[in-house]
Structure 1
Amino acid sequence: RAEAEGVDTFFTRQREWLDAFWERSDVRIGGHDDLQQATRWCLFQLAQAAARADGLGVPAKGVSGSGYSGHYFWDTEIYVLPFLAYTTPQWARNALRMRYLMLPAARRRARQLNEAGVLFPWRTINGEEASAYYAAGTAQYHINADVSFALAKYVRATGDTEFLYREGVDIAVETARMWASLGFWRETELDSERSFHIHGVTGPDEYTTVVNDNLFTNVMARFNLRFAAHTLRDMALDAPEDYRLMVDRLGLGEHEVEAWEAAAEAMNIPFSDAFGIHPQDAVFLEKEVWDLENTSPDQRPLLLHFHPLVIYRYQVLKQADVVLALFLQGNHFTAEEKLADFEYYDPLTTGDSTLSAVVQAILAAEVGYQDLALRYFLDSIYVDLGDLHHNAADGVHVASAGGVWTALVSGFGGMRDHFGELSFDPRLPADWPELSFTLHWQGTRLQVTIARDRMWFAAGPGQSVSFSVRGAQYVIDPEQELMIPLADQGPVIPGRPSIRQFADVTRDDGSLLSASVPVVTTSIPIVGSPETFESVPDQLPQAADPMS
């Protein structure tokens, strides 16, 4: 074929394909050629990884290396799908179809774990769970909510109710059923109101496993239950025939929707009055604090130097957990809560996962730690180009590349789409003169440009787009432009949070918060070697308590 049509024909087609990709996907950073090049490198990796996702998904390493053996994780839904939904919606739909095709295997997995509905695997290549360690893998039930969240984001961005009502609804219903089955009701003697709880789960943070009422899991499960109920109520009105077919296909019970709504409304969202923050789980704040500020760099990452049981005893995070919930479900938290939570958890977060820096960048920018936000962004954008985790040879971190786009658009661009309402609250870094990106919102291409003192919007053909900028409502008509002045780039807090800010806080049992570093007697990679035992001193030193 190449001989018949000529090689130049294929070069031309490839050039046209790439030109179209950059037109709808490029993010432009003014005055920083190095960051511009690195950003485009990340976007190109996403194009390679996601262009042929129909029924196949987006592997954690894309097509760039053998890391993770070609498996894919929940990273796709949380870190890659937003980029696809807002730039190339068809690719997002293709990736979601992979989860739809996975439903039979997910139903079997739910039955194996004694639950109703479906349970999507933590790690898979064919729909079956491939994780060998249940505590940090299968116990991450939040994956169900992550998939539904990605589905909802796609539908909001595109208005594609056809896909939702024909295929996506099965995902929404079956994931909601799992939460209704997994959770349980509890009523205390002091409070006659019942609350809904979820026990025995692991959140995104793999340094804390199998806990009760993980905040991220509960918040996302609540979203999942509400999304499923809302979808079915809309569907019954807007597409009654599709609704009837769905009821027959899934055997929807008469009172299931009401049960989901009740569970969502009563979902237990833990909060500590003593600390003024949301605990990561029911007992997280009872543990001792791992003093990361005084942890030697040669003991990082922790998982290569300490047994999991050592790590699990401490308040220490592999990656953002509560902070990720603050971003994904930010409309359910106040600005004061976000700041307090970020200031507590940021000093406890190791960043040992490449999924963490992008989320920390977004929340740091939102709450005002703008220099810190830029520092986290640089960590994420150069994670592979700079081989910051010393594993780039295994392949590109595709989820981190997707997170780079989100950090630019949602972090520094301040874009949110809670409740399907587009909003902006920019946080341009101090030495960035301009940031520009394109969004596809329900069929209309919207060009957004942010400068120090203003924002510009330019709409392509399609329909009018409603949005808000810092609470003020605007509408832009097709093929029109709009300029909005900005008074500033949001609050600015210097430095970075320290866990020592909480040195005087007492737990519910009256004990003071303290921080220490576990004494190292060995490192996991050399357990059993003669050198290990020769290096252990006769008398082990006591761990310091630098917060006292």
Structure 2
Amino acid sequence: MNQDYIKPDNWSIIEEGFDVNRVKSSESLFSLGNGAMGQRANFEEQYSGPTFQGSYIAGVYYPDKTRVGWWKNGYPEYFAKVLNAPNWIGINVIVNGEPLDLYTCKSVNHFRRELNMQEGWLSRSFTAILKNGLEVNVSAKRFLSLDLDELGAIQYKIIPTNGDAEITFQPYLDSGITNEDTNWDDKFWDTSSIVQNDCQAFIEAKTMKTDFYTCTYMESSFSINAKPITINPEVQAANNKVVYNYKGLIKQNQVFAIHKFGGYVVDSNHDKSELITVAKQNLEVAKEKGFDQLLEEQKASWAKIWEMADITIDGDVKAQQGIRFNIFQLNQTYLGKDARLNIGPKGFTGEKYGGSTYWDTEAYCIPFYMATKDQNVARTLLEYRYHHLDKAIENAEKLGFKNGAALYPMVTMNGEECHNEWEITFEEIHRNGAIAFAIFNYYRYTGDYSFIPEKGLEVLIGIARFWQQRATFSTNKNQYMILGVTGPNEYENNVNNNWYTNYLAQWCIEYALENISQVKKEYPSDYARIMDKVKLSDSELKDWKSVSDNMYYPYSEKHDIFLQQDGFLDKELITVSDLDKSQRPINQKWSWDRILRSPYIKQADVLQGFYFFEDQFDDETLERHFDFYEPFTVHESSLSPCVHSIQAAKLDRMDQAYTFYLRTSRLDLDDYNHEVHEGLHITSMAGTWMSIVEGFGGMRVSDNKLSFTTKIPEQWSAYSFKVNFRGKILKVNVSQAETNFELEANEAMELLVNNKLITIAPNNLVTV
């Protein structure tokens, strides 16, 4: 049974009523981020019930030593942990000597929480009766500034409603926190100083091993009935914590408010000796602007993002809420401002998976950022991989590969592999192909070839070298095979000839050869520089060609389909529809041994390949494979439903496409996989965007032009989206009757619509 407590709303995520069993799920769903830092939606006041406290700083991590009872060559020494950072949001509230704690209150009524996605803020309000009988009304609002991305702001108000009360606000900073996810319970943070200065406090702490120097800071101000007051605090400072006590004698129905500013400054952006100075400057700016002005600026910044990124859906509130939630969380996670950062699979919402970079970025996220921002953001993501090329070569060397072969990591923070499940670390090598595909996809969409001679070709050569060396020549079949792999479908480990992996390997080699030839012809100086560096010989190129020309693909004559892998038809082929619902999700109900022997597919590898390379297969072939694999797919990967939605739309199966769309867009809101308490599925949210734009909108790039074959689910009356294509912004509006195209540009644009060429003039509406 999926959860169903989030209220349908076009622009907000809303929870009404307090339930201790929902706290951890809501902490994920209502998370905040601004690209530089983020936090789960923990309460400001103390909460003694089950909770997952989490605040995170982009790029700050800890190399948690791998926990295995055995060691093999090439095994990663550590698993990079996204670090739970010092907590600055805390404000304990004491009422007549008793802590306000929703877990221990006599009653909590009128509880309401709202994440306003249009304006970028989180609010919470409730009435509570404490054990001492006092009743209070509380309202809180907070946000993380997009413009000043080292700063967050909190407004917290309390009203005693059945008597006068002595109320103490205790804003604090705490660097004595631990990770929810840790191998050895290591101490991750070393606090070096706690500095107090009037209403300001600062904790300087560095990470163990990685030596990230940080300063967590805060300052608070107060008012009664909106009139500013000055309260001199009592200060308590311990080894890792500083607490300020501000007492007020508050009459019945008076509003006692605290405004707290806080955040992080890090030595990756500032000199480590200047961190407190920079924090003080941030607080000065915050005080000068004040909470209300900062909030107005926040609304304006989000309005600018939504102007380009919004997708509207008319007639289906849950579908509308779902897509906006996905777009909002993607922008909270990554804004393309810092080339050192990437898009972590949990963003700032949890710690599961570790690392900041997976193949998800290249396979799913780059199209979203290319179309809703500009090509520079996507190019920055590709450059991130170029800067890690030496580490990718090192990763391959550890596994015995030579001569500049590059294996990009499954999980990384700095280019080094740090994932420590052997069947993924050593075997899920398809990730290399996603990186090559992203280079191709970037050029196809932007028309900017310059990245390839400047940086991309070196990446493609390293990847092609890896594939040529990873292939094994079978004298039995007289073809090349790729043995012992795991495809995107992680419910089949250590299989031979995963079709998707073999197909990608062949394509990567061909694509590298094609670009070597083009760069040689059109960019001779770049070609000379690259060849001098990589030392590529004619005999090596022959070896590549031999592998790509003679790649083996597992195939079933009986079903006329490519097989997931050699042994797929040896399984007991019972479809998902015949699986007892009480056994789902199987990854939480079954042993791993049972899953590996089953035919059930976490995400369909073959269909992922058809998604990447759809122009190499006709619709009839797609349909045959879709009909064979969909019945065995349990969609227990967050990356699965979006691809199926796109392909179902392509096949005119709109009911199926719509069902998959709802599943991908509301994966976390409705908690399909029963794991939202661990954090959100950020990278798959880009797939949700693709399921509308590429699925229902049918957007492709064909012959250097945008092409559309628009469709609309019967549940919707209309939908619209914008894309930035080569510096021209095109708005597409689809209704049940027609499709309108509107161009924001200085010159006309040619489009293919239902395979017919149309020309659209600037600021002109064309109806099809």
TM-score range, shorter chain: 0.7 to 0.9
Q: Which amino acid aligns with 1:118?
A: A
Aligned to 2:711: 427
TM-score (structure 1 length as normaliser): 0.81
Give 1 or 2 for the bigger CA radius of gyration.
Answer: 2
C-alpha separation in 1, matches of 2:666 and 2:615: 30
Aligned to 1:73: 358
Aligned-residue offset at 1:261: 5.0
| Closer/same/farther in 2, CA of residues 10 and 252 from structure 1, 3 Å limit | farther
Aligned to 1:492: none
C-alpha separation in 1, matches of 2:744 and 2:461: 35
Aligned to 2:733: 449
Instruction: Name the SS of the counterpart of 2:627 in structure 1.
Output: helix
C-alpha separation in 2, matches of 1:463 and 1:77: 31
Residues 11-45 of structure 1 deviation map (CA, whole Å, 9 limit, x = unaligned):
55544432332122111112223322221111010
Residues 379-436 of structure 1 deviation map (CA, whole Å, 9 limit, x = unaligned):
1111111222222222221122111101111111112236755322223112222221
Aligned to 1:95: 381
C-alpha separation in 2, matches of 1:274 and 1:285: 11
Equivalent runs, 1:319-358 vs 2, <5 Å: 319-358=603-642
Aligned to 1:401: 685
Task: Report if aligned partners of 1:366, 1:427 keep a CA contact under 8 Å in 2.
Answer: no
**Structure 1 unaligned residues grouped into runs of 5+:** 485-548
Instruction: Name the SS of the counterpart of 1:67 in structure 2.
Output: coil
Q: Which amino acid aligns with 2:344?
A: P
TM-score (structure 2 length as normaliser): 0.59
- Answering whether residue 408 of structure 2 is matched by residue 120 of structure 1, we say yes
Q: Which amino acid aligns with 2:492?
A: T
| Closer/same/farther in 2, CA of residues 420 and 256 from structure 1, 3 Å limit | farther
Measured on the aligned residues, the alpha-carbon RMSD in Å equals 2.4
Equivalent runs, 1:12-161 vs 2, <5 Å: 13-51=297-335, 52=337, 54-88=339-373, 89-116=375-402, 117-161=405-449
| Closer/same/farther in 2, CA of residues 252 and 454 from structure 1, 3 Å limit | farther
Equivalent runs, 1:270-281 vs 2, <5 Å: 270-281=554-565
Task: Report if aligned partners of 1:55, 1:101 keep a CA contact under 8 Å in 2.
Answer: no
Task: Report if aligned partners of 2:355, 2:418 keep a CA contact under 8 Å in 1.
Answer: no
Paired residues in the alignment total: 480
2:465 to 163, 177, 184: 177
Task: Report if aligned partners of 1:62, 1:70 keep a CA contact under 8 Å in 2.
Answer: no
C-alpha separation in 2, matches of 1:242 and 1:472: 39
| Closer/same/farther in 2, CA of residues 455 and 185 from structure 1, 3 Å limit | farther
C-alpha separation in 2, matches of 1:14 and 1:137: 41
Instruction: Name the SS of the counterpart of 2:423 in structure 1.
Output: coil
Q: Which amino acid aligns with 1:81?
A: I
Q: Which amino acid aligns with 2:611?
A: F
Residues 22-72 of structure 1 deviation map (CA, whole Å, 9 limit, x = unaligned):
122111112223322221111010111111452221111112222223443
| Closer/same/farther in 2, CA of residues 53 and 391 from structure 1, 3 Å limit | farther
| Closer/same/farther in 2, CA of residues 472 and 347 from structure 1, 3 Å limit | same
**Structure 2 unaligned residues grouped into runs of 5+:** 1-280
Task: Report if aligned partners of 1:77, 1:150 keep a CA contact under 8 Å in 2.
Answer: yes
Instruction: Name the SS of the counterpart of 1:417 in structure 2.
Output: strand
User: Is the deviation greater in 407-416 or in 51-60?
Assistant: 51-60
Task: Report if aligned partners of 1:50, 1:91 keep a CA contact under 8 Å in 2.
Answer: no
Q: Which amino acid aligns with 1:366?
A: K
| Closer/same/farther in 2, CA of residues 147 and 87 from structure 1, 3 Å limit | same
Aligned to 1:6: 289
| Closer/same/farther in 2, CA of residues 293 and 335 from structure 1, 3 Å limit | same
| Closer/same/farther in 2, CA of residues 12 and 254 from structure 1, 3 Å limit | farther
Task: Report if aligned partners of 1:53, 1:95 keep a CA contact under 8 Å in 2.
Answer: no
C-alpha separation in 2, matches of 1:9 and 1:162: 43
Aligned to 1:501: none
- Answering whether residue 497 of structure 2 is matched by residue 213 of structure 1, we say yes
Equivalent runs, 1:527-546 vs 2, <5 Å: none
C-alpha separation in 2, matches of 1:381 and 1:228: 35
User: Is the deviation greater in 390-399 or in 30-39?
Assistant: 30-39
User: Is the deviation greater in 248-257 or in 59-68?
Assistant: 248-257
| Closer/same/farther in 2, CA of residues 165 and 97 from structure 1, 3 Å limit | same
Residues 289-346 of structure 1 deviation map (CA, whole Å, 9 limit, x = unaligned):
1442232233222223333222222322111211111111111112111111111111
Bigger proportion of residues as strand: 2
| Closer/same/farther in 2, CA of residues 253 and 422 from structure 1, 3 Å limit | farther
Task: Report if aligned partners of 2:322, 2:662 keep a CA contact under 8 Å in 1.
Answer: no
Residues 492-535 of structure 1 deviation map (CA, whole Å, 9 limit, x = unaligned):
xxxxxxxxxxxxxxxxxxxxxxxxxxxxxxxxxxxxxxxxxxxx
C-alpha separation in 2, matches of 1:107 and 1:370: 45
Task: Report if aligned partners of 2:585, 2:673 keep a CA contact under 8 Å in 1.
Answer: no
Aligned to 1:308: 592
C-alpha separation in 2, matches of 1:204 and 1:219: 13
User: Is the deviation greater in 334-343 or in 11-20?
Assistant: 11-20
Identity across the alignment (%): 31
Instruction: Name the SS of the counterpart of 1:386 in structure 2.
Output: coil
Task: Report if aligned partners of 1:74, 1:147 keep a CA contact under 8 Å in 2.
Answer: yes
Equivalent runs, 1:253-268 vs 2, <5 Å: 253-254=537-538, 256-257=540-541, 259-261=543-545, 263-268=547-552
Equivalent runs, 1:498-537 vs 2, <5 Å: none
C-alpha separation in 2, matches of 1:162 and 1:12: 40
Aligned to 1:380: 664
User: Is the deviation greater in 267-276 or in 173-182?
Assistant: 267-276
- Answering whether residue 511 of structure 2 is matched by residue 227 of structure 1, we say yes
Aligned to 2:86: none
Aligned-residue offset at 1:274: 0.5
Task: Report if aligned partners of 1:55, 1:97 keep a CA contact under 8 Å in 2.
Answer: no
Higher RCO by CA contacts (8 Å cutoff, separation 6 or greater): 1
Bigger proportion of residues as helix: 1
| Closer/same/farther in 2, CA of residues 263 and 425 from structure 1, 3 Å limit | farther
Task: Report if aligned partners of 2:343, 2:683 keep a CA contact under 8 Å in 1.
Answer: no
